[in-house]
């Protein structure tokens, strides 16, 4: 009797398994197909990204060669295209190259390029903070106090490694405007900041001892 029950249970289990495969045949076939398509898409996209970055690197290098050959217009155009590509490496390099070589006179145009990096490019946090600092540095000679602080706020109100740089820029800004108390306040903030840059901390201490001693 027990053997018959075992045989019946086995047959029932086999029948259920058979029915499961019959009833879910399309699903069972589609799952591996979907997985294969996902893997294929992933590797295809990765291959495209690698190829695209290689072309971008070649474009960046060839643009520098064009500049060295005196082709300023093509240099500006190509570097703008690289910036607008929103690449995490070559887009910032493209903007820095334009700024370092004073290739764009229009400050609003330069700020628009900064904003592409800050707001539309998937940069790591500290790289984005560096770009923000560079934007503030670029604008420091012609923006008002409020406008400059607005740019620097994301750094000054954070624990970024660039915070002391931002504070130092504001200290120098106020010192150049002969607003000594405000300047000293920012220098002092650098001195009490736990992770301030060592060189900036030393320079801030020197400035306080030299320029603010009673």
204 with 168: CB under 8 angstroms? yes
Domain identity same for 145 and 115: no
User: Does a structural domain hold residue 114?
Assistant: yes
Domains in the chain: how many in total?
2
pLDDT at 6: 46
- How far does Cα 146 stand from its chain's mean position? 25
Question: Residue for token digits 């490019």?
Answer: 121
* Closest of 103, 35, 93, 92 to residue 68, by C-alpha: 103
Domain identity same for 105 and 153: no
**Residue 14: both structure tokens together:** 């086999």
96 with 113: CB under 8 angstroms? no
**Chunked mean pLDDT (size 10), the chain, 214 residues:** 50 58 59 58 54 86 87 91 95 96 94 97 96 96 94 95 96 94 95 93 94 78
Domain containing residue 207: 140-214
pLDDT at 22: 60
Domain identity same for 118 and 186: no
Query: Within 10 A of 56 (CB to CB), how many other CB atoms are there?
Result: 18
Domain termination site, one of 90, 123, 156: 123
Contacts 24+ apart (CB under 8 A), 66-70: 67/97, 67/101
User: Does a structural domain hold residue 129?
Assistant: no
pLDDT at 66: 83
**Residue 66: both structure tokens together:** 């064009």
Query: Within 10 A of 192 (CB to CB), how many other CB atoms are there?
Result: 8
**Residue 193: both structure tokens together:** 């900041």
Domain termination site, one of 93, 123, 153: 123
152 with 136: CB under 8 angstroms? yes
Domain identity same for 69 and 114: yes
**Residue 71: both structure tokens together:** 């082709």
Question: HEC profile for 197-214?
Answer: CHHHHHHHHHHHHHHCCC
């Amino acid at each position: 009797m027990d053997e018959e029950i075992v045989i019946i249970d086995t047959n029932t289990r086999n029948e259920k398994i058979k029915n499961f495969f019959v009833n879910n045949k399309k699903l069972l076939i589609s799952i591996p197909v979907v997985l294969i398509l996902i893997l294929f898409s992933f590797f295809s996209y990765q291959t495209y990204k690698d190829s695209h970055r290689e072309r971008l690197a070649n474009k960046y290098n060839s643009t520098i060669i064009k500049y060295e050959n005196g082709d300023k217009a093509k240099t500006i155009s190509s570097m703008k295209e690289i910036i607008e590509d929103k690449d995490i490496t070559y887009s910032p390099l493209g903007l820095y190259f334009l700024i370092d070589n004073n290739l764009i006179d229009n400050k609003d145009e330069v700020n628009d390029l900064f904003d592409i990096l800050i707001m539309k490019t998937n940069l790591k946090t500290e790289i984005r903070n560096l770009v923000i600092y560079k934007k503030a540095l670029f604008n420091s000679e012609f923006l008002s106090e409020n406008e400059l602080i607005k740019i620097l706020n994301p750094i000054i109100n954070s624990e970024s490694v660039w915070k002391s740089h931002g504070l130092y820029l504001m200290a120098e800004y106020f010192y150049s405007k002969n607003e000594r108390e405000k300047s000293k306040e920012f220098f002092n903030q650098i001195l009490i900041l736990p992770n301030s840059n060592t060189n900036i901390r030393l320079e801030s201490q020197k400035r306080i001892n030299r320029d603010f001693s009673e």
